[in-house]
Amino acid sequence: MARLGVNIDHIATLRQARRTFEPDPANAVGIVERAGAYGIVCHLREDRRHLNERDLRLVRELCKSHLNLELAASDEIIEIAREVGPDVCTLVPERREEVTTEGGLDVAGRLAALKKAVERLAPIPVSAFIAPVEEQVMASLDAGFTAVELHTGEYANARPGPERDERLARLAEGAETAAGVGLYVAAGHGLTYINVAPVVELGVFSEYNIGHSIIARAVFTGLEEAVREMALLVG
Ligand code: PXP
């Protein structure tokens, strides 16, 4: 059965829209866990646009399931990660001007720096958020990552039809290559209640990390129901 990681950044985004105290992302942890998710995912960005260190520390304390911390390979955030001790770290590219994480990490192009980041995070296992491209998969293995998360954004942005089918096939190929060399393989970004089914049907991913669509639905259904519905779709 595949696992669902629920990204709770968007709860903090809503709080930050008013720079107030609610909604508090820490309050989501127990609800998400009760609803059947495998774990919590959150991203401490260098610009702290949603989650801050106080949130991360509280989430770590409250999370009894599995905490996946997304971070850029920056010295400051790596230091915080080492101190807080998530169950897994996912290295992502980060640009201040982007609305969300736009592309995959160029592991092949930054092999030495990323290898160092993985070593500094040890013994925390580290996943690389990459495009479904063989070169990036093999570079991730070389850099010491034990897992990859394939960026599903290109697939998610395509309309149903030949272009989307082709992007889906690329995801399947990337996942098979990664699993074939012993990497744990997750998928994430832009997945929704509607577009997740064809990805799940591939049967190649061990985990799905989903945020925006779940939090958006939670506005209408409540978080527990929203997570439960997504867990049913991916599991
Ligand atoms: N996985 C990674 C590595 C991400 O950076 C994000 C976005 O923060 C997600 C998954 C979740 O993406 P979405 O919010 O589009 O579901």
Nearest residue (by CA) to ligand 1, atom 9, is: 189
* 99: pLDDT strictly greater than 70: no
Ligand 1 atom closest to the Cα of residue 215 is 14
pTM: 0.96
Q: Tell me: the pLDDT tens digits for 155-180?
A: 999 999 999 999 999 999 999 999 99
Q: Tell me: the pLDDT tens digits for 215-230?
A: 999 999 999 999 999 9
Count the residues in the chain.
235
Catalytic positions, please? 43, 70, 189
Type of residue found at 97: E
Q: Which residues line ligand 1 (CB under 6 A)?
A: 7, 9, 43, 70, 90, 92, 100-101, 129, 149, 188-191, 209-213
Domains in the chain (CATH in brackets) are 3-234 (3.20.20.70)
Ligand 1 atom closest to the Cα of residue 101 is 5
Query: Residue 96: what pLDDT?
Result: 62
93 near 54, Cβ under 8 Å?
A: no
Place of tokens 């201040």: 96
How much is the CA Rg of the chain, to the nearest whole Å? 17
CA angle 137, 138, 140 (to 5 degrees): 65
SS (H, E, C) 1-19: CCEEEEECHHHHHHHHHHC
Q: Tell me: the pLDDT tens digits for 51-92?
A: 999 999 999 999 999 999 999 999 999 999 999 999 999 999
66 is in an annotated binding site: no
Ligand 1 atom closest to the Cα of residue 192 is 16
57 is in an annotated binding site: no
Residues 156 and 152: their CA atoms lie apart, in Å, by 6
* 100: pLDDT strictly greater than 90: no
For ligand 1, the distance from its centroid to the CA atom of residue 123, given in whole angstroms, is 24
Nearest residue (by CA) to ligand 1, atom 3, is: 129
For ligand 1, the distance from its centroid to the CA atom of residue 182, given in whole angstroms, is 23
Nearest residue (by CA) to ligand 1, atom 4, is: 189
**Helices vs. strands in the chain: H and E counts, helices first:** 11, 8
Residues 53 and 45: their CA atoms lie apart, in Å, by 10
* 98: pLDDT strictly greater than 90: no
> 19 to each of 15, 28, 86, how far by Cα in Å?
6, 18, 26
